[in-house]
Amino acid sequence: MNIVIAVDSFKGSLSSLQAGDIIVQAAQTIFPRAAIQRFPVADGGEGTVDALAKGLGGKIIAATVTGPLGEKIASRYGILPQTNRAIIEMADAAGLPLVPPEKRNPLHTTTYGLGELILQAAQAGCREFIIGIGGSATNDCGLGMLTALGARFFRADGSRAGITGGDLETIESIDVRQLAPVLQQCRFHIACDVTNPLYGPQGCSAIFAPQKGASAETVQRMDQAIRSFAQKAAAQLGYEGAQLPGAGAAGGLGYAFHAFLQASLEPGISLILKATGLEAALGQADLVITGEGRLDAQTAMGKAPIGIARLAKGERPKTKVIALCGCAMPEARCLNEQGIDAYFPILPGPMSLQEAMDPGIAAQNLRQTAEQVLRLLRTV
Q: Verify that 101 and 247 share a domain, yes or no.
A: yes
Q: Verify that 159 and 218 share a domain, yes or no.
A: yes
Per-residue model confidence (pLDDT) at position 274: 83
- Reduced to 3 states (helix: H, G, I; strand: E, B; else coil), residue 283 is coil
Question: What is the reported pTM?
Answer: 0.85
Q: Verify that 251 and 316 share a domain, yes or no.
A: no
Q: Verify that 62 and 139 share a domain, yes or no.
A: yes
Residue 374 · residue 30 · CB < 8 Å: yes
Range of the domain at 174: 48-268
What CA–CA distance (Å, rounded) separates 187 from 184?
Answer: 8
* Boundary of a domain, candidates 210, 236, 268: 268
The answer as to whether 317 is a domain residue is yes
Choose among 33, 7, 44: nearest CA to 369.
Answer: 7
Q: Verify that 133 and 259 share a domain, yes or no.
A: yes
Write the single-letter amino acid at 181: P
What CA–CA distance (Å, rounded) separates 192 from 45?
Answer: 9
Q: Verify that 219 and 247 share a domain, yes or no.
A: yes
- Reduced to 3 states (helix: H, G, I; strand: E, B; else coil), residue 5 is strand
Per-residue model confidence (pLDDT) at position 380: 66
Other Cβ atoms within 10 Å of 246 Cβ, number: 25
Q: Verify that 171 and 32 share a domain, yes or no.
A: no
What CA–CA distance (Å, rounded) separates 111 from 252?
Answer: 11
The answer as to whether 25 is a domain residue is yes
The answer as to whether 273 is a domain residue is no
What CA–CA distance (Å, rounded) separates 304 from 267?
Answer: 10
Q: Verify that 371 and 295 share a domain, yes or no.
A: yes
* Boundary of a domain, candidates 268, 298, 313: 268
* Boundary of a domain, candidates 229, 249, 268: 268
The answer as to whether 172 is a domain residue is yes
Q: Give how far the C-alpha of residue 267 lies from the chain's centroid of Cα atoms, to the nearest Å.
A: 9
Residue 222 · residue 106 · CB < 8 Å: yes
Each of the 380 residues of the chain gets a pLDDT tens digit; together they read: 999 999 998 988 998 899 999 999 999 999 999 999 999 888 777 778 988 888 888 999 999 999 999 999 999 999 998 888 999 999 999 999 999 999 999 999 999 999 999 999 999 999 999 999 988 999 999 999 999 999 999 999 999 999 999 999 999 999 999 999 999 999 999 998 889 999 999 999 999 999 999 999 999 999 999 999 999 999 999 999 999 999 999 999 999 999 999 999 998 888 888 888 888 899 899 999 999 999 998 888 778 899 899 999 988 899 999 999 999 999 999 999 999 999 999 999 999 999 999 999 999 999 999 999 999 998 76
For residue 38, give the DSSP letter: E
Write the single-letter amino acid at 105: N
Residue 8 · residue 42 · CB < 8 Å: yes
| Domain total of the chain | 2
Per-residue model confidence (pLDDT) at position 51: 83
Residue 165 · residue 251 · CB < 8 Å: yes
Per-residue model confidence (pLDDT) at position 267: 87
